[in-house]
Amino acid sequence: MTNEVTLAVVQFACSDDAAENVITATRLVRGAAGRGANIVLVQELFEGLYFCQEESPAHFVRARPLDDDHPTLSTMRRLAAELGVVIPVSLFEARNQAYFNSLAMVDDAGAVLGIYRKSHIPDGPGYSEKFYFNPGDTGFRVWETRFGTIGVGICWDQWFPEAARAMALMGAEFLLYPTAIGSEPGRPDFDSMEHWRITMRGHAGANLMPVAAANRIGTEHVGGKEQSYYGSSFIAGPSGELVASAGREGEAVLTAGFDRAKLRADRAAWGLFRDRRPELYGALATLDGTDPR
């Protein structure tokens, strides 16, 4: 594995033309690779508009099996191999009678290392994902790549410290979160951006590892509804510090370099994993906080 690693995040506005969005993603990934990136994170469901603004059976046609015939996945695999970068690819997956908000981890040789299916599925105005997606059945996943071991959650997963800690315990060195978040219908004065960032920065500090989030930008219209996305994609360092930050508007390519050996030594020295007491955390495995013992 390479020790010195450059992590990158891209953000952009999506249209409802998959080919156009893939061209945009490709251009920005190339830009990140040109700046030395080894791992490039692209936002959630970047093939099209965030269709979960509404509940409509018409949107199920967007889903496809994640096989060798998937046009977007095939394109991103070729791109990863050409540039020698790792690309987590967020896609709407159809599998028999099930539908998932999924991610394919593509390594720097263009191989799919495996699939993660979103574990936490939100259901609220403007974010009606339970209509479309089965709860993920993969469990949390981490993948060993040439540039380190990567754990990935998808959007709503990013709010749960249990998910971040689980991936860290499984050996993750970087935590990545593709996302789609912005305005809240019916709450025009509410802005979750700082809360969103602070939560994930806490995962970085609690687990002493870099965290990155890629969000979309722009205003999208779906089924007569309107929603705006606040971008603000970022990379946080192992103390939760912001090391790269995008604006609320405009395309962005962010990069930050990390020394994996130093990160590993710092995690060991701090003792946060040494001093854990798993036998005391039984309440975490329950819904109501009542320890089952």
Reply yes or no on whether 118 is catalytic.
yes
Distance between CA 129 and CA 122 in Å, rounded? 6
Residue from 14, 44, 47, 173 carrying the catalytic annotation = 44
Residue from 14, 47, 52, 118 carrying the catalytic annotation = 118
Angle at 15 between CA 19 and CA 78, to 5 degrees: 30
Biggest alpha carbon distance in the chain? 54
Name the DSSP letter for residue 50. -
Distance between CA 47 and CA 30 in Å, rounded? 17
Reply yes or no on whether 155 is catalytic.
yes
Query: Any bridge partners for residue 208, and if so which?
Result: none
DSSP E strands, the chain: 4-11, 39-41, 87-95, 98-106, 112-117, 123-124, 127-128, 142-145, 148-152, 174-178, 211-214, 217-222, 225-230, 234-236, 242-245, 252-259
Reply yes or no on whether 44 is catalytic.
yes
Residue from 47, 52, 129, 155 carrying the catalytic annotation = 155
In 183-196, which positions are buried (b, 16+ CB within 10 angstroms) versus exposed (e)? bbeeeeeeeeeeeb
The catalytic residue positions are 44, 118, 155
